[in-house]
Chain A
Amino acid sequence: MKSLVIAATNLRRFLRDRSNVFWVFIAPILMILILGASFGGDSTPRLGLLTEGTGELAADLSARLDASGDVRVAVFDSRDALVRAVERGELEAGLVIPAGYEETISAGGSIDVEFVTDSIDDTRAIRTSVESVITQQGSLLRAAQFVEAEGVGTFAEGLAAAAEVEPYLAPIEVTTTASGEAFSLSRLGRFDSSAHTMLLLYIFLTSTASSGALIQTRRLGVARRMISTPTTARTVLIGEGLGRYSVALVQGLFIMLGTWLVFGVDWGDPLGAAAVLLVFALVGSGAAMLMGALFNNDQQASGLGVLFGLGLAALGGCMVPLEVFKWLSPGLWKVAHVTPHAWGLEAFDNLVLDGGGLVDILPYLGILLAYAVVLYAIASWQLRRVLTR
């Protein structure tokens, strides 16, 4: 009972500060929106295109690039602007169709287009896409050149004939068969993975960053006074923790429902998702309590809270997907599982990707619960120590 009163007071103090509305409700949605918009969906590389010459052939090449769907074409009209955009990483690569493109080719000569990148190694994929479009147009151009070289007609006649013949030729097919396991990333929707990771990141971050609340309770002398009544340090801690816990729950519920309604994010089995939220929020509030018991200065605690909140989230796969760790660095994948975040993400993956239910994620819930118990136990012991010292 006493804990509930303490929790209510804690909550009232939290809500009185309007800026907390931003951190609890607006910031996570903003971040999911920006991350989803910029990285979740279209990963088609961007190619800047500069056509220095005029003529139909150059226009045809640019139309083919646009139609290929492998690159997003952005048209530039100056070389400086194109180069600057590549240098700054706003484009993956640029392509310059030189002046005299049409004249040289129709005279039977060969000409180079310029492929502009800041690193040849990192742009192999886009380079291949560009090459294939160039080859596509090139096959018509070469056929026309061949016609002239063989003496059976002019370049223009050859080009017209090649365009006529081409639809009747059965192209050499390349059939692609996929085998092995799919990257689970690719099975998630545009906002899904960022919503899952942001839920965990924010529940934890909001908790640890507001760990100063417990310190304020101590500094205002409220905690000592409570201890002097027949109230144990544990009750105080549970009450303060409950306050944090309810904030974390409300925030989590808001993120879940909001992203489900607005972006159609898949959270899997509702019962399972609710269980992950209930347990993970407990871990977050436990971490906040531990920090609140350990530090004496609320500004220091919130600074370190941001450090732990963001740092553990980064380690735990909230910024780089766990699957990527697994592929690139198995060692890092193991380190990630020291954080509660990784276990929360595994639980969501199980719910959403494998269609699991509450029973399937019990092991993950158990591990998360263990984190919460340990955090609360140490926090309670430490709080009693500092309050009765």
Chain B
Amino acid sequence: MMKSAFTIAAKDMRERIRDRSAFILGIIAPLGLAAIFSFVFNPIQDFEFDATYAVADQDGGPIAAVFVNEVLGGMERAGIIEVVAVDSVDAATALVEAASDPFGSEESADAAFVIPTGFSEVVQSDRPAAMEVIVNEGGGTEASVAVSVADGFASQLDATRLAVATTEHLGASGDRADAGTRFLSLPEAVGITNVTTTVKQLSGNTFYAAGLAIFFLFFTVQFGVNGLLDERNTGTLSRLLAAPIKRTSIILGKAITAFVLGVVSMSILVVATTLLFGADWGNPIGVLLLIVTGTMAAMGIMAIVAGFAKTAEQAGNFAGIIGMVLGFLGGTFFPIAQAGGVLAQMRFLTPHGWFMQGLGDLAGGNLADIVPAVVALLAFALATGSIALIRLRKGLAP
């Protein structure tokens, strides 16, 4: 039984190599798209927070000094921002406006702070006080961080005012500035510690390489699976059936072809994207496990399509639709996990979603972490494979 299956597979494989379609769909298309995607999307992923803020201190008082020297100065010393001191509101506005033109001069600021005359004095009284932030409309994160910095400083001042006012409300009296200083010497009630987790998502080039690879895998295995329909089309199927070959051997032969095409093209993609685009697929054993189970799942699904289609053309059309919808929902083109909600969870209804998550878990963890993905892919393969087998055998019934 195995011998005839291998003979059929070998013949199919020779055909597929001679006709370059599998090569184009399985390797050239995903590799080309991975190159374009990484070219287009990388500048965005490489985007780093890099802000320049202008500050116009028209007050010159002690509280303004705290903002300029400690708040902004601290961020500058930490290398988070750059600070440019200017003398007038006009100069500050001009710098912010200059940021509108990406092709323009280097001299620009994402936002500017203006501390008005008399600010320090007013803050220590009960009167309303205000400071101004000039932001560039197109400034994005840099601009909103500037507003947050000012807000943060204002709330520190508010907190001091509130604390002093509360003690006064409860009967305390004394110099406000002294009380304020005593208040600020108390530790913050609530601090924030950063906990950095591992990253279980694929980054940049690896994401596009993996996404496109699994997307096109479904079309690559189709070349093997559809072999049965081709045989029927060319009339060679009835000859095969008349020969002393078991029906299962014929199906097995096609399955071997699909499996080899899938695993080989995926492996080539892994090596090529690693060498060409610096993709980082992770632990090779884990990757191989995911490729093998992923290919089996793809074969199962495509075999069902072949089982229900009448001609190879019809199968191709259905396969295109199914591959597209599953690929889209599975997050092969964009990280759908980030979309949140139901849409993000729906990726686990597709083999694509499990394959991508498996690679993500592999990237941030170890081999044991991919067990759920491998089991899910195997389950897809088993369920769809057995339906397809029954259907295909029936189709071959004399």
Contacts and interface: CB of A to CB of B under 8 A. Distances in A.
Contacts of A119: 196, 199
A27 B179 CA distance: 67
Contacts of B179: 150
Interface string B1-37: 0000000000000000001110011001100110011
Interface string A310-336: 110011000110001111111010000
Contacts of A90: 337-338, 340, 344
Interface string A321-359: 000111111101000000000000000000000000000
Interface string B133-171: 111111111001101111110111111011101110111
A257 interface: no
A147 B167 contact: yes
Given A303-B29, A307-B28, A320 B40 contact: yes
Given A169-B158, A326-B102, A132 B128 contact: no
A170 B339 contact: no
B97 interface: yes
6 nearest interchain CB pairs? A38-B339, A19-B317, A139-B159, A180-B100, A173-B130, A170-B128
A146 B186 contact: yes
A134 interface: yes
Nearest to A324: B44
Interface string A93-121: 00010000000010000111111111111
A157 interface: yes
A182 B137 contact: yes
B59 to A, nearest CB: 13
Contact of B194 (A105, A117, A164): A117
A389 interface: no
Nearest to A44: B340
A303 B201 contact: no
Contacts of A118: 196-199, 201
Interface of A: 17-20, 22-23, 27, 30-31, 34, 37-39, 46, 72, 83-84, 86-90, 96, 105, 110-121, 124-125, 127-132, 134-147, 149-150, 152-153, 157-158, 161-162, 164-166, 168-183, 297, 299-300, 303-304, 306-307, 310-311, 314-315, 319-320, 324-330, 332
Contact of A37 (B150, B343, B360): B343
B147 A115 contact: no
A16 to B, nearest CB: 11
Contacts of A174: 130-133, 147, 150-151, 154
A4 B129 CA distance: 76
A278 B322 CA distance: 30
Interface string B309-327: 0000110111011001100
Contacts of A297: 19-21
B277 interface: no
